[in-house]
Structures are given as C-alpha cells and as structure tokens.
Structure 1
Amino acid sequence: MPSGFRQLTRLTKLGLFVVGCRGDDTRISELETLDMLSGDMNITNLKYMQDPANADRASLKRKNNIKHLVLDWSRGETEKELVLNMVMEQYLAVLNALEPPSKLEETLIYYYGGPCLPRWMRKQTHDSSCWEGTMLKQTSPCQLLYLTRMTLQEISNLKHMQGLVDLHLLNYLKLFGLPNLEDMWTTITGSEIREYLRIAGSNDRTQLPESMRSFTSLQDLNIHEACCRNGLENCWNPNDGQPPSNQSIGRLTSLTYLTIGCNNLKQLPETIQHLMSLRALKWSERGALTALPEWIGKLSALHRIFCPTVLCHSMPARVHKTPY
C-alpha cells in the first residue's frame, strides 16, 4: 500500500489494510492519526509485522467507531510449522499492541502464531501463564463490553484459553483449527452464548468447558473432532453423579441445530433425547454409526436429519431425510 495515509485525518472508511514486506510500503503506524475510521476493518499480512512498537502506534484502541475487526497473519500451510519460540513471542507482542476499542462488536483472528491469548483478552490474574517479556507497557485488560461475536481460526500454537475476560454480550463463538489447545475457559462470567458455538480442529486432550452446561439458550452447536476420540459423552466429565438429563448436551434445552463431526461416532449420545427443541441433526458422513436409537422418534420438534442413506429408511415419517 502507498505511504501517506496519516494525512487522511478525516477518512472514515478503510475496509482493508495490507501490511507490506518492502521498505517503502505503508507502515501500520500511519493509522495513528485516523481516529475517525468506522465500521469494518481488515488488517492482513500481519506476518510481516516485526516491530510491536509500530503496531502500538497504530492506536486501534482510540478508534471507537470500528465495530468489526479482522486481524489476519495470512500464513500458509508450510509456514504454520516454522514458528520458533522467538517468533511466537513476537506474534504475541504484536497482538498485544493491536488492542481494539472497547466498543468493538466483532473480532476475527486468523493464523495467529502465538502461544496464548493477548493481554487484552485475558484477566490479569492469569497473566503469569504466558510470555510477557516483550510487553510494551503494563495495561489493564480491555473491557470488551459490546463484543457479541468472536472467531479464532487456524491458531496452531494456542494451548490455553483460561482467564478469558468477561464477555457479557457474547452470543457467537467459533473456534476452528486449534490443534494444540489443551484447555478452554473455565467460565465465561456473566455470558451465555445464545446463538452459535462451533469447536473444531482441536486435539483429543481437549475437554469442552463445564460452563457450557449453563448455555441453556444456545441454539446452534457444532462440534468437530474436539474430544470426539474419547467419546462425545466424555466431553463433560460423565462421572459427576448427575442424571443423564443433567449431563453434557442434555442441559442445552433450547438447542435447535446440532452437528457432530466425530468420525468414530458409533452411537448417538443418549442425552440428545432430552433436546426437545431440536429441529435438525447432522453427524459425520464418515462415522461408524449403523443404527439409530428408538428414542429418536420422541424428538417431536425434529424435522430434518442429515444421515447416511443406509439409515434414512429407519427415520420417522415426519422427518425430512437428507442422505449423503
């Protein structure tokens, strides 16, 4: 991108900013004077951002009219495997410096190579769990009071999500391509994800957070790979002494759409029979499921099932079958 952006002090729209790799490309610090920017903003090629001080001078935090922010490191498949510890620390320092405004409504982070969430997404009590040696300055966690949607995608080195700040209005969360994630949040204080939750591409050590049981207004749950290798019923500690209706997804009584992308799925979890609001059900076409339970016909709201052809004939007549 050409240099000279800092002179456009009355600019209100800049949908895309591409971080360059050449010396004469525009530096992200030129955004410092553009405090009237509003709406959507997509910052890509952050893999070329080596100086966190330069990112800090962009002063995204001051741009209160930006509502939707995309931070994209734009790394390819081969680059995912080449992130050394020193580079991971640099990624973290840059993301720390790109703190968004508190009135942000949606954030999407792609191909970030750091080991943990940025400081502005973590509570101070959990700061010791991650590198902070390159921090520019000590600041309080950002209060993302208006954030309703968050996507973390293809973040290969992220191991922990403990200490996530309170996101009181969050109703859409997508976690996709986090192969080294070992734990998620314990609780999202004051938040109840109501619209959509997708967890995909994590490893077999990942357990779904127990606080998910409180998401009784959640409408759409999409689980792929996460903890499926150990059986879906084990995702929420099945030995807690609770009756089946109180375990795992059986508590999500407002759920209307459920997708289970587990290739080793041999039977549907019994807790699904308590989801009386369920309207659509889909599971992996590569799964090992060969028969449907008798209770499937008791789900009175169920009207669409995506299923292998061999199973479609056993569906209740009122249910629309979509074979694959």
Structure 2
Amino acid sequence: MTGPALEIDRISKRYGEKVALDEVTFDVRAGELFGFVGGNGAGKTTTMRIALGVLAADSGEVRFDGRPITHETRTSIGYMPEERGLYPKMKVLDQLVYLAELHGLSTNEAHRGAELWLARLGLGERRKDEVQKLSLGNQQRVQLAAALVHDPAVLVLDEPFSGLDPLAVDVMSGVLREKAANGVPVVFSSHQLDLVERLCDRVGIIRNGRMTAVGTVAELTRGASSRLVVTAPGTRPGWASTVPGVRVLEERGPTTVLELTAGADDQAVLAAALATGPVTEFSRQGRSLTELFRDTGATNQGDAA
C-alpha cells in the first residue's frame, strides 16, 4: 500500500556513558502493522518517545511522509504510552473530549470522536465514570481510545496489550488491523511474541539499543535451523544422531524432535527413520518468533527503556 510512512533514521541517544540507542533505523509503512520487540531495557520506549518528540535524539532524524516531525505533525500521531497518561479523577468522556481538543478538534468533533470510540471499545456505559473506578483492562481501553479519538494518521503504541483479557486483546487487535487497512502506519511494542507473530506484517528486534533484525518473520527465519518431528514406532534412542546436520532435541517414545542446521537434508532423516520401519509422522516446523527473539534479542545490559 502506498502512502505516508514513519521513518526512524539512525537515531542515537546517550545518558552520560550509557548508550541507550545506537543508530536505530527502521520504517513503518502505510497500512502496515509493525511489531517492535526487545527485552526490558532494550530501547523500545526511548525510541518511541523520540518519535513523539517527548525526548530529543542526540543524532538522527524521525520523518513522517518524508518530512521531519514537527509540532504540527505530532498532533496527527496517536500515542499510547506504557505508563498510562490518564487523569484518574476525570470522567472518561470528559477526558477523551479534552484530549481530542488538544489535538485540534472542535468541541463537537471531539464529542463525536469520543462517543464513537467509547462505543467501539465497549465503554459506552462507563462514559460518566471516573477513570480510577475502572478495571485496569478498561483503563487500557480508555487509553487506546485516547490514542484514536482524533483520527490519527499514524499510531505509536507502547505495550498496548499489557494486562488485557483475551476478549479485550481481540477487540484491540481488530482495531489495529482496521486502522492499518485504512492506510495508517501502526507500530507497537509487546512482550506477547505469539501475538506479534500473528498480527504483524513486519517485526523489528532491538537489543542493547541496536537493531539486530528487521523483516517479516519468514524473512528473519529463512535459512536458519528448523525443527523436524518424526514419529516412527521402530526407532530406538539416538537413531538420528548419525545423520549429518541433525541434533536431537527431545525423544518421547516413538516421537523424536530434531533440529536441522541450515542446508541439512531432511530426506536423509526420513531414510534413517524408514530403515527402522513405518513412519507415521514426518513434519518440518520453522522457528517461531519467540525462538528467534531468544537467539537475537532477549537479554540486555543496562537500564535504558
């Protein structure tokens, strides 16, 4: 899909001797769901705050639609911070109207936007409640409504699925898919890697302030080791250990889980299994995003967000 993209171009940030971000670069294209993942302290939140202008980068540039982010541009961004930015004693509807007006909407437009998203997110009956009286999950929905109420041109969401029950996860997933389908670039961070893998068009992995991988899950795992599940009742423990490029991960009775290095011949494994008798299962499984993350970005040094 063609349209404006959000570009993070060689962003660096230091705190004294601590390097928080080191030339972080990626883009979020129009109509794309981009998952931004990394361990605690990897630099996700710092990157997002710089994209919003909450923090200033030491070097590099953030652009939207090919132009540097300005104050005017920021009013068209929907931002959902990890630390919730709601006024606890303010009523839900009043809060959304106020935030929409801060983004430049008229009072009537703000009310229409607030009522729309309260209804969409199942909060219509709580519109007159104070935020502090809502469950954490419903507060999360209000925070999402706050990011959407002004019909943003780009969405930047920091851990939007944190603390949500499965129904609320489905609701939020549907909203993000809808915004992307309408051409909005959507970037969100999450520790729920199965959800990122299911939702996102592309993924960026950050570790210690440096991007270690960007691409689709299929691109990132292509050529890497994969797993093979073989069920053959006639096999004995260790039967596959002599096949080149194969490592036995698990043996459960007649079922063996193997890891194949890049270029290993799965047909050699099948031949070895058939030599013992019938084979009732022979399936190849690619690496999951969780496994890829564990290999490239799970651990971090330091305290940068």
Higher helix fraction (1 or 2): 2
Q: Structure 1 length as normaliser, TM-score?
A: 0.26
For the pair shown, which has the larger CA radius of gyration, 1 or 2? 2
Higher RCO by CA contacts (8 Å cutoff, separation 6 or greater): 2
Q: Structure 2 length as normaliser, TM-score?
A: 0.27
Higher strand fraction (1 or 2): 2
